[in-house]
Chain A
């Protein structure tokens, strides 16, 4: 297990970062004194800080199969809808029920974008529309998305959806733009996270009394999520792929 890794040494990716850093240093030297490159975000008041990595810890033992409060809350918050066409409807989060055939143990858990450190959707995107913010949230820049759906094929969690139908103006949220012909997925409620709030699914889960979804900063050793991860065993879905997702499961 290699959790809060986002900034840690990590093969080719890290070498590229180092290279970019050095290249930036060279560029700074080459510039005339007094001239700064604001194009690199100097003036921007960035909320996405590389000092944090947002994640979720889902305690499967607290999640009940007859509850879908997280799904409903996400749908309401972000404006996607179940229109009765499972093949084409957008789905940012879904409940998955599992039965162990040997023991008969039944479990239920929500699955959404796992916000991988080494996200395959980001790797394959031909237009760099699929990207990872400095704080580990994986998003789609719909201004650049051409709807090719490579990311949907690359994602091992089937977390992404293509918007097949026109989105009605009254269904749109000003904080979560959605439009036909682009791909979308869970944004970890980035608009709420940037305000210091908790994603809608985690809030809704807490309100039902189950409290199965814990949201927090994986890189802050004082946060509850980091403490629980350090203390109790947890797994990543498809850990064998080595994607180091930001969403972890307990008691799975």
Chain B
């Protein structure tokens, strides 16, 4: 009986693990995490979800106090790839509830202070970045990566546009009621 129980547990565990692995971007957190452009983090999304604040905190001190400008995990770097685009394809600011950081932080009711001082939108929008890169001489691998970035960007714009239209309709209905 005990043996059966253990094997059932093991199977349940395996299935749960598989489901967990498969649903990386629509996760168990109950929020839909917006897609980013650029190369994925080699450490994996799960690692970044748990450790992003520690990485940021460590590296901000190096940048500010030691003048290290080669920082990998800068807030500017986060914003550049994780900007969520609005209806017109313009990057949304922190005041928008669909802002990348806010999607999770609102869900867990944590107020982050980063954007009371830091700029919450990227300096250069992703289309410009991609257009600029197009003129450069690229290896086939880089070209493929850029195509993927562009595809993700277009997908992001259309998805977000859809969401916002739905949301605005809801708001109108509330007002009407």
A residues with a Cβ closer than 8 A to B are 41, 44-48, 131, 133-135, 139, 141-143, 167, 169, 172-174, 177-180, 182, 190-191, 194-195
Secondary structure dominating the interface of A: loop
B119 to chain A minimum Cβ distance, whole angstroms, is 4
Q: Are A194 and B69 in contact (CB under 8 A)?
A: yes
Q: Which residues of A contact B68 (CB under 8 A)?
A: 44-47
Nearest B residue to A191, CB-CB: B69
26 contacts between A and B (CB under 8 A): A41-B66, A44-B62, A45-B68, A45-B69, A46-B67, A47-B66, A47-B67, A47-B69, A48-B65, A48-B67, A133-B65, A133-B67, A134-B66, A134-B67, A143-B60, A143-B64, A169-B93, A169-B119, A169-B120, A169-B121, A172-B119, A174-B76, A177-B117, A178-B117, A179-B116, A190-B67
* Assembled-state Cα–Cα distance A45/B72 (Å): 11
B residues with a Cβ closer than 8 A to A are 60, 62, 64-70, 76, 79, 93-95, 115-123
* Assembled-state Cα–Cα distance A131/B76 (Å): 23
A188 to chain B minimum Cβ distance, whole angstroms, is 11
Q: Are B67 and A179 in contact (CB under 8 A)?
A: no
A179-B66 contact given A143-B60, A169-B93, A174-B76, CB 8 Å threshold = no
Q: Are B117 and A46 in contact (CB under 8 A)?
A: no
* Assembled-state Cα–Cα distance A179/B116 (Å): 6
Nearest A residue to B95, CB-CB: A169
A184 to chain B minimum Cβ distance, whole angstroms, is 10
Excluding A172-B119, A182-B117, 19 further A-B contacts by CB distance (< 8 Å) are A41-B62, A44-B68, A45-B68, A46-B62, A46-B66, A47-B66, A47-B67, A47-B68, A133-B66, A133-B67, A135-B67, A142-B117, A169-B93, A172-B118, A174-B119, A191-B69, A194-B67, A194-B69, A195-B69
B117 interface neighbour in A134, A135, A172, A194, Cβ under 8 Å: A172
Nearest A residue to B79, CB-CB: A174
Candidate in B67, B95, B120, B122 with the most chain A CB atoms within 10 angstroms? B67
Candidate in A131, A169, A174, A190 with the most chain B CB atoms within 10 angstroms? A174
* Assembled-state Cα–Cα distance A47/B94 (Å): 31
Nearest A residue to B94, CB-CB: A169
* Assembled-state Cα–Cα distance A172/B75 (Å): 14
Q: Which residues of A contact B93 (CB under 8 A)?
A: 169
Nearest A residue to B120, CB-CB: A169
Nearest A residue to B64, CB-CB: A141
Q: Which residues of A contact B119 (CB under 8 A)?
A: 169, 172-174, 177
Q: Are A44 and B66 in contact (CB under 8 A)?
A: yes
